[in-house]
Chain A
């Protein structure tokens, strides 16, 4: 019979469970808390916190709603209720073929037909979050590392490292060349890892970049591809914002670079995509891994058992994405609206005396507030971030949470709100800058 003692320690949890690697205590997420506690609402809470830290695309939502209204039967079972049986029972980790075909063709459309995608290489996951984690599990062992250019999406700290036990070694980029990746930076990062006795398994890039909001130039992609080939490591290209480039001709996918090389050496390349940004459907949890490596495809497919998309959602989206007329119109309209929105925020910031990195993609801009820092340090940046959050009531993301090596940069999202709200935000920034300016003037008297 059990002997109970008062001193028995509580039943323990794993290291994964108690680790801080989920990163949810960083400022990136702390700002969200402030927003949750006091969210802006145009009529009900006009002085609340405006959320500019969430890269969500709401500008083209009406197009989706319209489609669904006109094709309501697609929302559950496809065309007939007889599709129900297949839908309800379907649980094959290959994914619905019609959906994979639709995804492949949508990805082709986004790239203007400049790259071809084979539906049998499409592996489905519940979101890009899962796709990135899955690839990390497959390409690296615990203790190994992936090289990631800074600044990068704060979620990578969690997605690539938490359960996988894999490390991130940063490839440092800075404003001297608009934060582009250079061969020297790649080598330096690799050597850095070697010096720490860490085995590098791959490079992970985001193209277009989050948080920079810029596409990676073709020449840089070629350099990166050459680098990973020399080192015999993998390349993961997270192209989640590929449909959110303001001008179609400016985006070059790694797929295009590979095709120009006749897919030579492509088995080290893997692309991540999702419908959360381009299609504005993050709640649907639709992500994909596209790999040129058969073993990776097979393994990813099996591993996707842990992160499947419901058959109902696959069916609904297959129907939507196979409608070429709809997708073409959506892609073009979305691009145009995002471009306009971007223009609006850049102009508004410029008028307030704030410059941004010249961007051409994404749902955010990379704002330079370094002139405003009390001290050119991470602490100075966080102090500024704090005052913007609490005085100006805007939640923006500090560059330090993106591991940016230069303090003073901030990521500001513009697509997750109405134009009116954006105007309010810009006005607040304007007022804030004006106040600072006035304070300085007073200080110089």
Chain B
């Protein structure tokens, strides 16, 4: 079974004589590649910018043994698993951008950042709101003794967030998901960003040595968030271009059985909807099938819906909250992760959400939130912002329009270069098919191209291998840090490189 998937990839992706005649070699290489992807290796996260994808494969505990007592006191195995290996593609890319960042006026030859899922498109809206409203900010003593005044917030607060913020966030989530669901504030635990939200759920739902099923390609930081300190494993569930990288239940079944064979107890499935890095939306049918699967195996589902408000196009977004809302039998096994970093363009504020109707999970998560609480003054500011319903409505709408526009332009630009993107309906990025540009259909070929793009074209994109994609040649490109003018610059640079890459067919 393990052979078939990469083989299909080879056969379907790139037919032709050259590959046809070297399939045995390619097969062997791919087999090695497949095994390599599933063995753990230590690679460090990049030095800056935490929410970007990281090439970080966590290590099993027994790998490194501490040195003898003659050496200085050593750190734990957990700490050692982030041993430095500074040639991980992602680390290198981020470093290059920070050393030589593109600026239209002051540094037009600099490296353009396309590897960071950050939304700068609608920052001006948030900034204008603040300029107008912030004069009587909570902290300048506008109201000196209310619950949201300085005196009220300086003290110890509930670790899982102010009630007012939960109410405001519940309302926002409902708005963002087009009012199809109403979220209950008492089912919310707030955390300092979505990163701890995911980790807390991992701690709550699985023991060390257990596993989660995660469809690939996936957000690279899941390796850190789900595995690092928890000691939980990830069993990848490969998705293929033939299926538009949509999740198939047979792949899920297969992965589950693989887990069994490896002696790993599967505790849950972690999905992202809209997915990252591809941008797919889960349709209702798939969601219900997933829930059936989870029920059959009696496991959890974590649905990372952080890009729920960043959908573009006409496809309908269906939240797992629908399950929480309606299906009594399965409400306890479904948990949603959300945050304001993406949809509200405020990653610096660190506002993350765990949403669940499972009382035990909420109780445990609430206690664990004390390690990751949101700073009180920030909570106040966000309450204020979210309570301005008119502003929020306008923001959500404008943001979506701008996203749609940028997406369309960017994808069209790539298409002109002969680079197709997987059809996607959400997120800040597109999933670009650059298989036509890689010299060998392998991770090595992919990384060679990535290198060219970084060092010659001077754009930083994320190679699919960082996302554990089983098919080489796909690249994750975020366009929300660009202006419309930047797009033509990007395309021109890619064109130069792509012309040197096209291999004869």
Q: Check B73 against A268 for contact (C-beta < 8 Å).
A: yes
Report the separation of the CA atoms of residues A66 and B184 in the bound assembly, to the nearest whole angstrom. Answer: 38
**Which residues of B, 107-136, contact A by the 8 Å Cβ criterion?**
118, 120, 123, 126-127, 130-131, 134
From B123, B348, B360, contact of A312 by CB (8 A): B348
From B75, B364, B372, B374, contact of A16 by CB (8 A): B364
The 4 A-B pairs at the shortest CB distance, nearest first, are namely: A72-B140, A311-B348, A283-B376, A75-B139
Most buried by A among B208, B346, B375: B375
- Quick one: closest A residue to B98, CB to CB? A92
Report the separation of the CA atoms of residues A295 and B79 in the bound assembly, to the nearest whole angstrom. Answer: 9
**Which residues of B, 323-379, contact A by the 8 Å Cβ criterion?**
329, 332-333, 341, 345-350, 358, 360-361, 364, 367-368, 370-378
Digitize A381-396: 1 where CB-to-B-CB distance is under 8 Å, 0 elsewhere: 0000000000000000
- Quick one: closest A residue to B203, CB to CB? A16
- Quick one: closest A residue to B298, CB to CB? A11
- Interface 9-mer from B190-198, B392-400, B446-454: B190-198
Enumerate chain A interface residues (CB-CB to B < 8 A): 1-4, 8-18, 22, 24, 54, 56, 58, 61, 64-65, 68-69, 72, 75-77, 81, 84-85, 87-94, 126-127, 129-130, 133, 137-142, 144, 159, 163, 165, 201-202, 228, 232-234, 267-268, 280-286, 293, 295-296, 298-299, 302-303, 305-313, 316
Q: Check B69 against A232 for contact (C-beta < 8 Å).
A: yes
Report the separation of the CA atoms of residues A140 and B76 in the bound assembly, to the nearest whole angstrom. Answer: 5
Q: A141-B61, A307-B372, A310-B349 are in contact. List 20 more A-B contacts (CB 8 A).
A: A61-B154, A65-B141, A72-B141, A75-B140, A81-B131, A87-B348, A89-B118, A89-B123, A126-B371, A137-B78, A139-B79, A142-B208, A144-B76, A201-B73, A232-B72, A295-B79, A305-B45, A305-B224, A306-B195, A307-B371
Q: Check A280 against B154 for contact (C-beta < 8 Å).
A: yes
Residues of A within 8 A of B372 (CB): 126, 130, 306-307
Nearest Cβ in chain A — how far from B263, in angstroms?
Answer: 18
**Which residues of B, 165-183, contact A by the 8 Å Cβ criterion?**
none
Nearest Cβ in chain A — how far from B417, in angstroms?
Answer: 29
Q: Check A133 against B371 for contact (C-beta < 8 Å).
A: yes
Q: Check B347 against A163 for contact (C-beta < 8 Å).
A: no
Report the separation of the CA atoms of residues A295 and B72 in the bound assembly, to the nearest whole angstrom. Answer: 12
- Interface 9-mer from B47-55, B401-409, B482-490, B495-503: B47-55
Q: Given contacts A14-B205, A89-B120, A311-B348, is CB(A68)–CB(B140) below 8 Å?
A: yes
Residues of B within 8 A of A87 (CB): 348
For this complex, 16 residue pairs linking A to B, each with C-beta atoms less than 8 Å apart, are A2-B292, A14-B203, A24-B367, A87-B348, A88-B347, A91-B341, A92-B49, A94-B47, A127-B371, A163-B371, A293-B72, A305-B45, A307-B372, A308-B192, A308-B193, A311-B349
Q: Check B381 against A138 for contact (C-beta < 8 Å).
A: no
**Which residues of B, 145-187, contact A by the 8 Å Cβ criterion?**
150-151, 153-157
Report the separation of the CA atoms of residues A89 and B73 in the bound assembly, to the nearest whole angstrom. Answer: 38
Q: Check B154 against A282 for contact (C-beta < 8 Å).
A: yes
B88 within 8 A of A: no
Q: Check B123 against A88 for contact (C-beta < 8 Å).
A: yes
Residues of A within 8 A of B203 (CB): 14, 16-17, 163
Report the separation of the CA atoms of residues A165 and B137 in the bound assembly, to the nearest whole angstrom. Answer: 43
From B49, B154, B231, B376, contact of A91 by CB (8 A): B49
Q: Check A91 against B141 for contact (C-beta < 8 Å).
A: no
Q: Check B375 against A139 for contact (C-beta < 8 Å).
A: no
From B76, B120, B332, B360, contact of A201 by CB (8 A): B76
Q: Check B196 against A11 for contact (C-beta < 8 Å).
A: no
B199 within 8 A of A: yes
Nearest Cβ in chain B — how far from A397, in angstroms?
Answer: 15
Q: Check B126 against A138 for contact (C-beta < 8 Å).
A: no
From A94, A293, A296, contact of B48 by CB (8 A): A94
B229 within 8 A of A: yes
Q: Given contacts A24-B367, A127-B373, is CB(A76)–CB(B348) below 8 Å?
A: no
Residues of A within 8 A of B349 (CB): 88, 310-312
Q: Check B192 against A141 for contact (C-beta < 8 Å).
A: no
Q: Given contacts A75-B137, A295-B79, is CB(A13)–CB(B361) below 8 Å?
A: yes
Q: Given contacts A72-B137, A138-B78, A234-B73, is CB(A91)–CB(B347) below 8 Å?
A: yes
Residues of A within 8 A of B345 (CB): 88-89
B207 within 8 A of A: yes
B39 within 8 A of A: no
Nearest Cβ in chain A — how far from B365, in angstroms?
Answer: 8
Report the separation of the CA atoms of residues A19 and B100 in the bound assembly, to the nearest whole angstrom. Answer: 49
Report the separation of the CA atoms of residues A56 and B154 in the bound assembly, to the nearest whole angstrom. Answer: 10
Residues of B within 8 A of A232 (CB): 69, 72-73
Residues of A within 8 A of B47 (CB): 94
- Quick one: closest A residue to B78, CB to CB? A137
Report the separation of the CA atoms of residues A89 and B358 in the bound assembly, to the nearest whole angstrom. Answer: 33
Most buried by A among B82, B155, B195, B296: B155
Q: Check A76 against B381 for contact (C-beta < 8 Å).
A: yes
Digitize B199-231: 1 where CB-to-A-CB distance is under 8 Å, 0 elsewhere: 100011111101000000000000010001101
Report the separation of the CA atoms of residues A133 and B61 in the bound assembly, to the nearest whole angstrom. Answer: 19
Most buried by A among B137, B231, B377: B377
B415 within 8 A of A: no
Residues of B within 8 A of A141 (CB): 61, 76-78
Q: Given contacts A11-B298, A16-B364, A283-B157, is CB(A310)–CB(B78) below 8 Å?
A: no
Q: Check A17 against B45 for contact (C-beta < 8 Å).
A: no
Digitize B31-71: 1 where CB-to-A-CB distance is under 8 Å, 0 elsewhere: 00000000000001101111100000000010000000100
Report the separation of the CA atoms of residues A428 and B55 in the bound assembly, to the nearest whole angstrom. Answer: 61
B300 within 8 A of A: yes
From B126, B134, B207, contact of A88 by CB (8 A): B126
B299 within 8 A of A: yes
Nearest Cβ in chain B — how far from A32, in angstroms?
Answer: 10
Nearest Cβ in chain B — how far from A95, in angstroms?
Answer: 11
B295 within 8 A of A: yes
Residues of B within 8 A of A299 (CB): 75, 79, 82
Residues of B within 8 A of A81 (CB): 127, 130-131, 134
From A68, A144, A303, contact of B150 by CB (8 A): A68
Residues of B within 8 A of A69 (CB): 140-141
Report the separation of the CA atoms of residues A16 and B79 in the bound assembly, to the nearest whole angstrom. Answer: 20
From B82, B84, B151, B298, contact of A61 by CB (8 A): B151
Report the separation of the CA atoms of residues A281 and B381 in the bound assembly, to the nearest whole angstrom. Answer: 17
Q: Check B155 against A282 for contact (C-beta < 8 Å).
A: yes
Nearest Cβ in chain A — how far from B298, in angstroms?
Answer: 6
Residues of B within 8 A of A307 (CB): 192, 196, 371-372
Q: Check B130 against A76 for contact (C-beta < 8 Å).
A: yes
Most buried by B among A8, A64, A281, A308: A308
Nearest Cβ in chain B — how far from A98, in angstroms?
Answer: 14
Q: Check B141 against A68 for contact (C-beta < 8 Å).
A: yes
Residues of A within 8 A of B82 (CB): 298-299, 302
Report the separation of the CA atoms of residues A290 and B296 in the bound assembly, to the nearest whole angstrom. Answer: 49
Q: Check A310 against B378 for contact (C-beta < 8 Å).
A: yes
Nearest Cβ in chain A — how far from B328, in angstroms?
Answer: 12
Residues of A within 8 A of B231 (CB): 142
Report the separation of the CA atoms of residues A299 and B329 in the bound assembly, to the nearest whole angstrom. Answer: 42
Residues of B within 8 A of A68 (CB): 139-141, 150
Residues of B within 8 A of A9 (CB): 298
Residues of B within 8 A of A202 (CB): 73
Q: Given contacts A17-B205, A68-B140, A92-B48, is CB(A76)–CB(B134) below 8 Å?
A: yes
Residues of A within 8 A of B120 (CB): 89
Report the separation of the CA atoms of residues A376 and B259 in the bound assembly, to the nearest whole angstrom. Answer: 55
Nearest Cβ in chain B — how far from A208, in angstroms?
Answer: 20
Q: Check B75 against A90 for contact (C-beta < 8 Å).
A: no
Residues of B within 8 A of A302 (CB): 44-45, 82
Report the separation of the CA atoms of residues A84 and B123 in the bound assembly, to the nearest whole angstrom. Answer: 9
Residues of B within 8 A of A91 (CB): 49-51, 193, 341, 347-348, 350
Q: Check B296 against A3 for contact (C-beta < 8 Å).
A: yes
Q: Check B360 against A17 for contact (C-beta < 8 Å).
A: yes
Q: Check B49 against A310 for contact (C-beta < 8 Å).
A: no
- Quick one: closest B residue to A282, CB to CB? B156
